Amino acid sequence: MEQTSMNSNNNILEVSGLKQYFAVKTGFMKTRDLKAVDDVSFNIEKGETLGLVGESGCGKTTVGRSIIRLYDPTAGEVSFDGEPMTEKNVTQMRRNMQMVFQDPYSSLNPRMTVEEIVAEPLVIHNLYNNRKERKEKVLELLALVGLNPEHATRYAHEFSGGQRQRIGIARALAVDPAFIVCDESVSALDVSIQAQILNTFKRLQRQLDLSYLFIAHDILVITYMSDRVAVMYLGKIVELAETKEINKNPTHPYTESLYSAVPIPDPITARESERIMLKGDVPSPLNLPSGCSFRTRCAYATEHCAAQTPPLTDRGGGHFVACWNR
């Protein structure tokens, strides 16, 4: 796999050959590997947002969870700030790598007050052992994400979805991380609230010099948030480029189809644009096609596509594509 960034000295995160397989029972005493993530490599620079987009089930969330070791990767290496992540240093690394989860309703403990939820990482990492100092830190974090001091004594069920997600963001920021995985962090929210939360993420990035892996299935959200975009299909990255470049010149047939489905507000332009409809269904991750996993739905597929998996190669200017025919 070729490197996906020219400036390795400025990378906060380097992911190389990441694989995450899950054993699935297929019969009596029989199992088969479900290849949720299959040989994924990318880098994220300090202060950068990399958007990870693809349809449901493509492995986006599994990438995020494998990076911060909520799942133990099957293979591959994750390095943070030049240091490989291992079982021995995972607790130390997690101080610098946090996650904001998709569902603000299920990711917060209903039996804990907001103060206890936000302070939990401080307790786990033995920070601010003095209760007074810990409470001051919690109130500071709540103010940072746009919540009031009186919210600290309330429980999660008393808040709206947007407020709950702000609590989740405050919890992620508690240990002063440098890198945050945002896993579909606005998809469960109303559109008007989504914009507020996205702007909060951007403001916090500027204030705290954060780096994000921003996972979403909504291309408009990804475009707004990201400096670069990686497109996933069935466990593999099929295209990676700067946001403006991939918007202007989507090259992989799957990326073309995704971007052709984005609503266009101008009715004249919308009528003139062509929606690229994919044929067939998404193959099962338990029974992937040989070679390129997209070939069964691709208008450009040839025998070469069935024989060999295309590597992710640089087509110039950091625009990486995994396709034999484009």
What does the pLDDT profile of the chain (326 residues) look like in tens digits? 444 444 457 999 999 999 999 998 888 888 888 999 999 999 999 999 999 999 888 999 999 999 999 999 999 999 999 999 988 888 888 889 999 998 888 889 989 999 999 999 999 888 877 889 899 999 999 999 999 999 999 998 999 989 999 999 999 999 999 999 999 998 878 888 999 999 999 999 999 999 999 999 889 999 999 999 999 999 999 999 999 999 999 999 999 999 887 766 656 655 666 667 777 788 888 888 899 999 999 988 899 999 999 999 999 999 999 999 88
For residue 19, list its beta bridge partners. 38, 75
Q: Is 99 helix (H, G, I), strand (E, B) or coil?
A: strand
| In the chain, alpha helices (H) | 60-67, 90-94, 114-124, 131-144, 161-173, 191-208, 219-225, 243-248, 253-260, 267-272, 303-307
The whole-angstrom separation of Cα 117 and Cα 290 is 46
* Residue whose C-alpha is closest to residue 178's, from 94, 96, 83: 96
Please give the structure tokens belonging to residue 105: 């309703």
* Residue whose C-alpha is closest to residue 299's, from 265, 260, 245: 260
Q: Is 9 in contact with 321 (CB distance < 8 Å)? A: no
Strands 313-314 and 320-321: antiparallel
The whole-angstrom separation of Cα 309 and Cα 324 is 9
The whole-angstrom separation of Cα 74 and Cα 250 is 31
With 0-12 CB in 10 A as exposed, 13-18 as middle and 19+ as buried, what is 65? buried
Opening angle at CA 261, ends 252 and 185, nearest 5 = 90
Superfamily of domain 8-96+177-252, CATH level 4: P-loop containing nucleotide triphosphate hydrolases (3.40.50.300)
Looking at residue 170, its amino acid is A
Q: Is the dihedral of CA 83, 89, 95, 98 positive or negative?
A: positive
The whole-angstrom separation of Cα 145 and Cα 192 is 17
The whole-angstrom separation of Cα 126 and Cα 221 is 36
